[in-house]
Amino acid sequence: MNVYTSNNKDYLITTDKSFLDINFIHQYLSQESYWANGISMDVVKCAIENSLTYGVYHG
């Protein structure tokens, strides 16, 4: 799959999964969200690996 990256002034938008903070994503989903409370790290990793992800980064 090709990686898409765009820089627009102060924002970076990319499909590059290496930018994702998987520990932060897992912590939020498993402990703070109501829809994925208790989700395992393995499920989060599998979902990310099999999804088209977009990250938007400021600064």
Question: Domain 5-58 is classified in which CATH homologous superfamily?
Answer: Gcn5-related N-acetyltransferase (GNAT) (3.40.630.30)
Global pTM reads 0.82
Structure confidence by residue, pLDDT tens digits, 19-34: 999 999 999 999 999 9
CA–CA distances in Å: residue 52 to residues 1, 4, 10, 21, 42:
9, 11, 23, 15, 17
Structure confidence by residue, pLDDT tens digits, 1-54: 788 888 888 899 999 999 999 999 999 999 999 999 999 999 999 999 999 999
